[in-house]
Amino acid sequence: MVEGSKIDSHSHANDMEKMLAEFWAFNAAVLVALDFAADNPDTTVIVTADHETGGLTLPEVLSEAAINDDCFTRGGHSGANVPFFAYGPGADQIPATIDNTDIFHIIKQLLF
């Protein structure tokens, strides 16, 4: 299990530079997990978030200069859906949209 908790903290602060640094570190951790799962076919990797923070809205035209603190629209949590990705055994049985509190039950089902 890997948590990118600082992504949330930096999104609360609307600090794009620090949030992106944490995002890329989390991305690297996910890549390690996916490499492990590729070599260990009994491993399922699940990637999601418990909530959205900051109301991040990207501009239509992406450029390095356009991705900045102004892309945040709030400092708190929103009710926006968060992405859910799964790879490995059982991943094809997980609905595309779930309540995040169901992740516990999904993991339990995959273990037994």
- Determine contact, residues 54/23, Cβ cutoff 8 Å: no
Residue 87: predicted pLDDT = 94
Other Cβ atoms within 10 Å of 43 Cβ, number: 15
Q: What is the pLDDT of residues 32-57, one digit of tens each?
A: 999 999 999 999 999 988 888 999 99
Of how many residues is the chain composed? 112
CA–CA distances in Å: residue 66 to residues 6, 11, 19, 63: 22, 17, 15, 5
pLDDT band at 71; cut points 50, 70, 90: very high
**Stretch among 27-31, 63-67, 96-100, 101-105 having the lowest mean pLDDT:** 96-100
Query: Is 57 strand, coil or helix?
Result: coil
Residue 73: predicted pLDDT = 94
